[in-house]
Structure 1
Amino acid sequence: MPKPTFFRLPDEKRQRLVTAAYAEFTRAPFAEASISNIIKDAGIPRGSFYQYFEDKSDVFFYLLDRMRQSTKTWMKDTIDAQAGDFYAAIAEVFDHVINDLVDGPYAPFYRNVFMYMDFHSASKMSPVHPPKPPQGKGELVGYLVAHVDRSRLLLQSDEDLQLLIRMVMGLFMQTLGYYYNRLSQGEQIPITELKRRLAQELEWLQHGTVKKEEQHD
């Protein structure tokens, strides 16, 4: 994450650096992105960059963490607005996130991330300083466990609810993987189809796929 000096920068200078970083990681995959291009676009000396970030991976994961923070805020606000209704909140947030990833102002950046990044092969991205994903991944899960209305669900234990949350998040990531895989093959999937696919998967998870037997008098 950025060093404290980054957050003490004037808003205009901090935003200029962030914009330059987005532009560079949109232009090229992580392995090919250049700090030189970032500082050139931001109009700062190289030495200043290292006063704000440890290395290239540090600024890269900061950009990803901005999305994680936004998603966390949306989820907290939505689960409260939906009175703890887990599936209603998940559907609303996923709809919002898909809009942001596919059509939002940073969509080209996220497209580059999902199409070219392999976070399990850190050595390929930075042999000297492998990038470290942001911390606090369990914070949102903990919030959901505490605020989901369990009277709407068949499961009751924290462990079962945590498993459900991770299953749902897995469905979302698989849907994104499907979208970006098709995109890499030159096939443009309409955002409506992407949402339909995810909604169907959530429907199956929520209500099951086994046909209920008809009751006869």
Structure 2
Amino acid sequence: MPTERFYNLPAGKKDIIREAALEEFIRVPFEKASINKIIKTAGISRGSFYTYFEDKHDVLSYIFENAAENFQSTWEASAKKNHGDLWKTIESFMDESVFNTKENFLQLVKNIIDSVQMFGVTNHLCQKISPGQFSMLRVMYQSIDKSDFKDQSIETFGMLVSMMFYEMAKGLEWYYAHPEDKEKIKKIFSQKLEIFQYGIRKQDVKS
């Protein structure tokens, strides 16, 4: 995640760096994104960049974190509307957030998904969760009714949400290329949620 020195920058400076990174991540797949290009566009030195971030994964982490406020409010509204039902919440969230996403953000997600390093990026973000990301996870966790969960820990909830959002991102990637398949994407996503919810084994199977 970004360093404390980055977080102490004026808001305007952070916005300039964020927009420069977004421009680059939208321009090319994540693995081909150039730190030099981000530095040049943002008007900062290479030395400054590396006092703010360890690498471009850290920049991506900040972009996701920066989008958290809007994400969080959308999630909370969806959870409230669906009375804390996780499965209805996530489907509603996909309808209200994913399919109403601006095209440039769709391209950003596509470029990240297309990268051969996608698994590494996801794993990196999960292992180095920032205080802001954990705060958002806690809000999501608290908004959901977990009374019928076998494991009600926030850690397990976090893993489940990560898996569901990975599948959502894959659907978003397809939607970007084939918007006419919206209903098919929703159906397949719903089927995947059913597997997450009930598993694949027969319920009367004994260990």
1:135 to 96, 111, 129: 129
Q: What residue ranges of structure 2 are gaps of 5+ in the alignment?
A: 199-207
**1:115–1:181: 8 Å Cα contact kept in structure 2?**
no
Q: For the residues of structure 1 that align with 2:187 and 2:158, how far apart are their CA atoms? A: 20
Contact 2:2 2:53 in 1 (8 A): yes
Structure number, greater radius of gyration: 1
**Equivalences for 1:42-191 in 2 at 5 Å?**
42-67=42-67, 70-99=70-99, 103-120=102-119, 132-133=124-125, 134-135=128-129, 146-149=142-145, 155=148, 157-159=150-152, 170=163, 173-174=166-167, 176-177=169-170, 180=173, 188-190=178-180
Question: Which moved further from structure 2: 56-65 or 14-23?
Answer: 56-65
AA in 2 matched with 1:32 = K
The CA deviation string for residues 158-182 of structure 1, in whole angstroms up to 9 with x for no partner, is 3599879866764553354356368
Structure 1 residue 41 and structure 2 residue 33: aligned? no
Check the 8 A contact 1:85/1:149 in 2, yes or no.
yes
Q: Determine if contact 2:24/2:38 at 8 Å carries over to the other structure.
A: yes
How far off its partner does 1:19 sit? 0.7
> How many residue pairs are counted as aligned between the two chains?
193
Offset of residue 15 of structure 1: 0.9
Alignment CA distance shift 1:44-1:90 (3 Å): same
Bigger RCO of structures 1 and 2 (CA < 8 A, at least 6 apart)? 2
Q: Work out whether residues 167 and 189 of structure 2, in 8 Å CA contact, stay in contact via their aligned partners in 1.
A: no
Once the two structures are overlaid, the 10-residue window that deviates more, 72-81 or 139-148, is 139-148
- State the TM-score, normalized to the length of structure 1: 0.64
Q: Give the Å deviation of 1:113.
A: 0.2
Change (3 A) 1:108 1:147: closer
Conservation of the 8 A alpha-carbon contact between 1:145 and 1:162:
no
Amino acid of the structure 2 residue aligned with 1:148: I
SS in 2 for 1:6: helix
RMSD: 4.0
